Structure 1
């Protein structure tokens, strides 16, 4: 058994975006005709127009516009706002389905108990949480090597157990979160340093937060920010300053993956 549910967005007391309304918008975008789109859903022509009027009234901008006359006899099309609305709904719907799949796995349907529900509210202490796309997974019997492309375009490598890959159902092209503790991030001012660590991310020091003993250094690697904790004495000895070029060095075994 498993949980299923349709996603509905509510505006105040009114249902705003429902699955059927999104289906109508997608059909309009595909065929450019409200009459044909209504038949695809299916809806009556009047029911389709009532649905469009409701969405247009609830939105700050028109979702659908009608063109009359012309060589092609007019038609109906989504506005740019409407197209973005559909894209946003699709993103939320995918995450909604992932949640339902996860909660189905955590539920013991025989006893009716929801196992480990606290995991859904778990806060992660890892300072660095970066979003990326899995480009490659190479698995052996024990360990798997995962390469994730970050939004900064850096490729970061993680080595985790193959069992973890299977439990998370990780696949290439999945969007994941890369998790790295700040005390696992080493810093070097030499961009050409030779070191065995798989991940060397070049960037510029953006911020330095000094404490009594340690300091947090934020390195901008071109869209992603990496936090590193080093001693205050090390900053003074290396004369590290904001604006310096720096390389964040991270062992692949210190890179965790979340989904």
Structure 2
């Protein structure tokens, strides 16, 4: 027994994209004819046109257009907006499938019991949560080193237990979330002549201080590392002053590999 669920999108409280309609759009794209597409799905010709009309009416831009004339007498095509919509739906479908798989792993359907399902809705207090691609997985005796590439192209290494790798089914090519607390990030000025040091125990990313917020005791430093990724560091206010950090400073942010958690 497995968990299953249909993925549908709504606009203004009305069904907009259903899986059957996605099949129809793919068929229209493949055949260039709504009559042939209706037979391929299958559905009636009338139902196919009603579905197309509904999608076009609810959509901010046309999804399907009907062309007339030409040597073949015209046909039905998917617009550029429609093709983009299909691409985005596939991304959502992949995440939806992954969620159901993870939910199945936490649910014992046969006995009717739920294990630790609360984890799926858990909110994490760690300030730094960044999307990353897994580029390497290197198992050791107890732990494993996970190589990560951020959206900016900068690299991180996370050290987690081999058990965690197995539980999360971590593999190369996956998209994961790198998670680390702001008080584990040390920030200092980047010397233009400084060579980048690569070690197994720490990570270094570079960027520009975008914003500084401080009170009497503490300071929060936001470092823009590119591609809309921001690393946040919290430090004592007097340390900020000693380091000479200010908005616009070109800096390096260092995080220990053991301080980086991974979420999926």
TM-score, normalised relative to structure 2? 0.91
1:200 equivalent to 2:204? Answer yes
Residue 216 of structure 1 aligns to a residue whose secondary structure is strand
**For 1:73-117, what per-residue CA distance to the aligned partner results, in whole angstroms no more than 9, with x for missing partners?**
322111122122222222222222122112211112233122223
C-alpha separation in 2, matches of 1:215 and 1:13: 44
1:248 equivalent to 2:243? Answer no
> Which runs of 5 or more residues in structure 2 are unaligned?
none
1:132 equivalent to 2:132? Answer yes
Which residue of the partner structure matches residue 65 of structure 1?
Answer: 65
Structure 1 stretch displaced more, 121-130 or 8-17 = 8-17
How many equivalent residue pairs? 259
C-alpha separation in 1, matches of 2:28 and 2:138: 43
Residue 10 of structure 2 aligns to a residue whose secondary structure is strand
Residue 99 of structure 2 aligns to a residue whose secondary structure is helix
Which residue of the partner structure matches residue 24 of structure 1?
Answer: 24
Residue 240 of structure 2 aligns to a residue whose secondary structure is helix
> Which runs of 5 or more residues in structure 1 are unaligned?
none
C-alpha separation in 2, matches of 1:13 and 1:225: 35
**For 1:197-245, what per-residue CA distance to the aligned partner results, in whole angstroms no more than 9, with x for missing partners?**
4311111111111122121111111221101111111111122111111
User: Is the contact made by 2:188 and 2:245 (CA closer than 8 Å) also made in structure 1?
Assistant: no
Structure 1 stretch displaced more, 24-33 or 124-133 = 24-33
Residue 24 of structure 1 aligns to a residue whose secondary structure is helix
C-alpha separation in 1, matches of 2:221 and 2:3: 44
**What is the Cα-based RMSD across aligned positions, in Å?**
1.8
Return closer, same or farther for 1:108/1:29 CA change in 2, 3 Å cut-off: same
Within the candidate set 236, 242, 247, 1:237 is matched to 242
